Amino acid sequence: MRKVNTMQAHTFSISFFTAHFKRHETKKFRSSYFLPPPTVIWGILGAIFGVEREESGKFAKENDLIVGAELCDFKGLATEKATLMPWDKGNRMFTRTVEDFEFLIEPHYRIGVYAKESFIEELKKRIEKRDFEFDIYGGISDSFLRDIKNEDKAEFMEKTEAKGMIPADMIAGFSQIAEGSKIIRVLYLNTFFYQGFKVEFKIKEPIKTVNGTAVWSVDDVERFRKGNLE
């Protein structure tokens, strides 16, 4: 008899010396999301398991990944100028452009994952042993991993209050706003979101959460790709 692969929840903490998760709507000034969106979390998990970036969507679908993030702490934001030298194939030469990059300083995240039980058990082992196939970065290769640890007692639940990253049209208000809180409105794929730090959002209808952090499925990501811009 074939074994049924049940779903299981897990959370782990992850921190970086700096992080930059490029916002989709920015051009010359490279602003950063506060939180890694679902597709970035697929990439982090893919690095642990040895999945190439272009295969991350397939990897997420095969393992029924439902993921999200909460920003637990960070030291601040910084901007630096970077000289980019892309190769111009037509003129067979490097072109030089200067762009401003926004970085989060020492961000600490909680990542919520709800996935196949076998995947979660392997993830726990790899994090515990630091057995990663590829290096993990905070968005770009200049943003190095500081620490990563498994957490205990994760619970998957549908709720009308959540932290993290919520579509703008689903927000009914706020249930908690702590001192030092920050909220930004961002465009992810083709959907507007609010990302919060030290904020808990009230949601118009129950959404998926792991330990109170909003988590999103592959189908959700496809819905975000279609958008709510009309």
* Sign of CA pseudo-dihedral 199, 68, 52, 148: positive
Number of domains within the chain? 1
- Tens of pLDDT along 18-58? 999 999 777 666 889 999 999 999 999 999 999 999 999 99
CA distance 77 to 31: 10
Strand partners, 113: 10, 67
pLDDT at 10 over 50: yes
If you average pLDDT over every residue of the chain, what do you get? Answer: 92
CATH of the domain at 123: 3.30.70.2660
Question: Quick one: which of 151, 75, 143 has its CA closest to 110?
Answer: 151
Does residue 119 form part of some domain? yes
Residue 181, token pair as written in the block: 């809180």
**Is the pTM for the entire model greater than 0.75?**
yes
Distance separating the N- and C-terminal Cα atoms of the chain? 49
Does residue 199 form part of some domain? yes
> Are the C-beta atoms of 213 and 109 separated by less than 8 Å?
no
Does residue 1 form part of some domain? no
18: three-class secondary structure by DSSP:
strand
Residues in the chain: 230
- Would you state the pLDDT for residue 229? 59
> Are the C-beta atoms of 204 and 54 separated by less than 8 Å?
no
| Better-scored residue on pLDDT, 24 or 134 | 134
Does residue 79 form part of some domain? yes
Residue 153, token pair as written in the block: 């007692």
pLDDT category, 101, cuts 50, 70, 90? confident
Give backbone dihedrals phi and psi of 187, rounded to 5 degrees, phi first.
-100, 120
> Are the C-beta atoms of 19 and 138 separated by less than 8 Å?
yes
- Tens of pLDDT along 144-174? 999 999 999 999 999 999 999 999 999 999 9
Does residue 230 form part of some domain? no
pLDDT category, 99, cuts 50, 70, 90? confident
Does residue 229 form part of some domain? no
CA distance 32 to 100: 11
Domain hosting 17: range is 7-87+96-224
Does residue 174 form part of some domain? yes
- Would you state the pLDDT for residue 2? 45
CA distance 161 to 198: 13
* Sign of CA pseudo-dihedral 123, 158, 212, 189: positive
Question: Quick one: which of 139, 68, 73 has its CA closest to 101?
Answer: 139
| Better-scored residue on pLDDT, 181 or 81 | 181
pLDDT at 227 over 90: no
Does residue 43 form part of some domain? yes
